[in-house]
Structure 1
Amino acid sequence: MTQISSIVRYTPEDAWEFAFRAAIAAGAGEAAASALASATVAAERAGRSSVGFAHLPDYLDSFAAGRIVGTAEPEIDFPTPAAIRVDAKGGIAQLGFDRAFDALIERAGLYGLAVFMQHNSYTAGELGYYARRLAETGLVALAMSNGPALLTAGIGRKPVYGTNPMAFAAPVSNAPPLVIDQASSVTAFVNVRRAAELGEAIPTGWAVDAEGRPTTDAGDAIKGALLAFGGARGANIALMVEILAAGLTGSNWSLDAPSFADGADSPGIGLFLIALSPALLAPDLPARMALQAERLAASGVHIPGQTPIADEITLPRALVDAIREHGRA
């Protein structure tokens, strides 16, 4: 770890240890702390800092408040040979995924397709993390998750869906996987909250206030609702995600999910993944993906997920101090 004025630089290993110790201090068991630390560092290294260490205090607060059961051990069953169902028992989504990871890979390899359905967990964090890990084993993956209602749809202007992100990843020969990770809202909630903390305005079209009026005031936006990207089309995608991530998994609908930041109740939300095996269905896909990615990049198209993985993690000192305050980590 290197400290320079307003920033602190970590190696990935030191960053993992910092996150692990902070989670333990906040009340997490070793399994949950390890899973969370790995996901936090992975988000930072992939350039998704808004759902990396910046999101870690939400977990730490929730361990301490009881919104996350720190010692929960996920319960796994198999409703069909190609389906894995996980009850997170009020714990973190990452640990349930870790526990089912090998079985998900094995069953996708056997049947060409496998489905992961998890309920009763805290919010999923960086959704691309789940899809990316599967793609790194050679699978094509589609992931969806819901959360407490933050996004409005229709004329009511009241929050009805979570930001309901979806992520997709595919293997690419001799290159990192292609990874797409985006919310159904115009922007992620953490970006609005960050703007509010800094006293910064947000762009027009991101959110409405509590009265349903367009706003550029981040504080008013937090009291109101986020807007879907593409209007009704984005809201339809949010509904589709909701049906798969909440309906099919048996999780709370976003309207019924307790806050991820207040109170003592778990949001109880869902995580839904489909894993497909190119080795069985289309063995030449990774090679074809490499050629296609090269062709698209030559045309100026950004290939998401293929930026270099960072070997150093740089955090604002204020964030490091805030994380340490949770348990003197």
Structure 2
Amino acid sequence: MRYDLKSAREFAIRVCVAAGASKAMAISLAEATVAAECSGRSSVGFAHLPDYLEGLSCGRITGTEEPAIFFPAPTLIHVDAKGGIAQLGFDRAFEELHTRASAYGVTVFALKNSYTAGELGYYVRRLARKGLVAMAATNGSALMAAGQSSEAVYGTNPLAFAAPVDNRPPLVIDQASSATAFVNIRMAAERGEMIPEGWAIDGKGQNTIDSCEAIKGALLAFGGVRGANIALMVEILAAGTTGANWSLDAPSFEEGSHSPGVGLFIVALNPELLAPGFSARMAAQIERLSSKGIYVPGNSYVEDEIDLPSSLVATLEGYCQY
């Protein structure tokens, strides 16, 4: 089913409110959901929205809490999501984050006690559109094994980075520390499809290409120890410095009635204070790299319509019947 962006936002807001979200939370989540679709990250767009709706219905997300915002130092913003969603906490602090980073050169945003952050590139993309260079890190419920252990100890623990580019969409890099995102394993299991070797292990700690067995086991880090090291760095930034749950302590984002209580860490930098004309330099460098056949991520953005599977639309509509 095809939706223009306005209709898609309205649809997302309606189902979120029906599931128990406040209007403010529904708007924040709808904007992030549509943005993920527009950026080509549909697996964390409307396909991920049922996780939020189920979380609202079962109590894993507190739909009516307003995040609390603190300023422990002029260039530090600390947000307690209070069991809500990271998107609303980010929205509430966005103008201060932009203003302070622009004025002071750099500002750190640290959020705790939230549900999973959705598309991580969404946060840095918005800052890059304001002329800032930004990096984000977030953790989640333990889904990924590391080293010789077969136990899940980290979330997929992604990193995202964005930079402004003159007369073009921002450059955006958004990738997990795991070999693939958990939603890809889950979708493969729902379709009865096999997965590539190196993505996951089964419940006995053995490598598997069976997606259903992978669901019972754990994801693997990309690049072995190197990916696991990045996951640990993300864990320290997103959970350690924010005061959020470590992934090992985070309740499931799929089951139960408790919030994962995980964290989101963002650093925003005003590049013009260091290198005037930065975004123009970025545009020239991207042109040069592209001419050599180098793929530059995040350099496109759909701005008109999105397509949603009718089965997914029916699932989402189902929440309006409760």
TM-score bracket for the superposition, by shorter chain length: over 0.9
Paired amino acid for 2:20: G
In structure 2, the partner of 1:26 is 19
Instruction: Tell me if the contact between 1:46 and 1:310 (Cα under 8 Å) persists in the aligned partners.
Output: no
Q: What is the deviation of 1:311?
A: 1.3
Per-residue CA shift, 1:224-256, capped at 9, x if unaligned?
000000000000000000000000000000000
Say whether 1:103 aligns with 2:96.
yes
Tell me the SS of whatever aligns to 1:78. strand
Say whether 1:266 aligns with 2:259.
yes
Instruction: Tell me if the contact between 1:22 and 1:328 (Cα under 8 Å) persists in the aligned partners.
Output: no
In structure 1, the partner of 2:177 is 184
Paired amino acid for 2:37: E
Paired amino acid for 1:119: K
More divergent stretch after superposition (278-287 vs 193-202):
278-287
Taking the aligned partners of 1:308 and 1:77, their CA distance within structure 2 comes to: 33
More divergent stretch after superposition (265-274 vs 300-309):
300-309
Q: How many residues of Structure 1 are paired with residues of Structure 2 in the alignment?
A: 322
1:63-74 equivalences under 5 Å are 63-74=56-67
Paired amino acid for 2:30: A
Q: Pairwise CA RMSD of aligned residues?
A: 0.8
Instruction: Tell me if the contact between 1:165 and 1:182 (Cα under 8 Å) persists in the aligned partners.
Output: yes
Taking the aligned partners of 2:301 and 2:18, their CA distance within structure 1 comes to: 32
Of the candidates 210, 215, 219, which is equivalent to residue 226 of structure 1?
219
Of the candidates 300, 309, 324, which is equivalent to residue 317 of structure 2?
324
Tell me the SS of whatever aligns to 2:320. coil
In structure 2, the partner of 1:127 is 120
Instruction: Tell me if the contact between 2:40 and 2:301 (Cα under 8 Å) persists in the aligned partners.
Output: no
1:1-329 equivalences under 5 Å are 8-328=1-321
Paired amino acid for 1:33: A
More divergent stretch after superposition (44-53 vs 276-285):
276-285
Per-residue CA shift, 1:84-129, capped at 9, x if unaligned?
0000010000000000000000110111000000000000000000
In structure 2, the partner of 1:4 is none
More divergent stretch after superposition (132-141 vs 281-290):
281-290
Following TM superposition, the consecutive aligned residue runs of length 4 or more in structure 1 with deviations greater than 2 angstroms are none
Extract unaligned runs of 5+ from structure 2. none
Paired amino acid for 1:299: K
Taking the aligned partners of 1:45 and 1:153, their CA distance within structure 2 comes to: 33
In structure 2, the partner of 1:5 is none
Taking the aligned partners of 1:293 and 1:12, their CA distance within structure 2 comes to: 28
Q: What is the deviation of 1:150?
A: 0.3
Q: What is the deviation of 1:310?
A: 4.0
Taking the aligned partners of 1:279 and 1:144, their CA distance within structure 2 comes to: 23
Instruction: Tell me if the contact between 1:202 and 1:217 (Cα under 8 Å) persists in the aligned partners.
Output: yes
Q: What is the deviation of 1:279?
A: 2.3
Tell me the SS of whatever aligns to 2:51. helix
Per-residue CA shift, 1:7-57, capped at 9, x if unaligned?
x00000000011000000000000000000000000001100000000000
Taking the aligned partners of 2:321 and 2:104, their CA distance within structure 1 comes to: 48
Q: What is the deviation of 1:299?
A: 0.8
Paired amino acid for 2:25: A
Extract unaligned runs of 5+ from structure 1. 1-7
Q: Which has the higher strand share?
A: 1
Q: What is the deviation of 1:326?
A: 1.8
Taking the aligned partners of 1:316 and 1:172, their CA distance within structure 2 comes to: 33
